[in-house]
Amino acid sequence: MSPRLPHLDRASVLKGTAVTLAITVPPAVVVQLMDDGDDMAASNWTRVAFLVILVGFGAGGWVAARRQPTAPLAHGAAATFLAWAIVQGVGIVRRLVTGDSLDWLSFVFAALLAASTGAVGGLLADRFRHRGGARPDPGDPVEPVDTEARR
């Protein structure tokens, strides 16, 4: 018997993707605009942008997973992977049009980093929810976890 994949709630994944894009795209664009051929790798702004992007992946994973009791890590990873795929898809097309080189290994690394960080955000959302920190949204079909019954 093959393992069963978890059902992903499309709305949750898309919300997490939107949050991820809203947080990660601005610093990435700023770094691209600042890169005029100088040694941007040594710049502190690159490091700050990288940290903001990591936080964005975690936040997107959190948002996607916060109301998902059955598969929070999968929701977090899926949301951030989708955001990564959108951004990298645009980046690959831009590089092909401009004739820049493509580093496929860096794409694989970034995909794994995005999905892993999103899964960590999902894990944190799940832990927070189990501690009774999540509040139900109006119209949310998922019932909040009864923390008293878990004790």
Q: How many domains does the chain have?
A: 1
99 with 140: CB under 8 angstroms?
no
In-domain check, residue 2:
no
Given a cut of 60, whether residue 118 has pLDDT beyond it is: yes
Per-residue model confidence (pLDDT) at position 151: 47
In-domain check, residue 1:
no
Helix/strand/coil for 6: coil
Given a cut of 70, whether residue 133 has pLDDT beyond it is: no
Residue-wise pLDDT for 37-61, tens only, equals 566 556 788 889 999 999 999 999 9
In-domain check, residue 46:
yes
**pTM: predicted TM-score of the whole model, two decimal places:** 0.78
- Name residue 68's amino acid: Q
CA angle 47, 80, 145 (to 5 degrees): 120
In-domain check, residue 4:
no
Distance of alpha carbon 80 from alpha carbon 60, whole angstroms? 6
In-domain check, residue 136:
no
> What is the domain extent for residue 66?
10-131+144-150
Per-residue model confidence (pLDDT) at position 26: 94
Helix/strand/coil for 133: coil
User: What single string gives the DSSP state of each residue in 61-126?
Assistant: HHHHHTT-SS-HHHHHHHHHHHHHHHHHHHHHHHHHHHT----HHHHHHHHHHHHHHHHHHHHHHH
**Number of C-beta neighbours around residue 14 at 10 A:** 14
- Name residue 111's amino acid: A
In-domain check, residue 29:
yes
Given a cut of 70, whether residue 136 has pLDDT beyond it is: no
Distance of alpha carbon 115 from alpha carbon 9, whole angstroms? 17
In-domain check, residue 139:
no
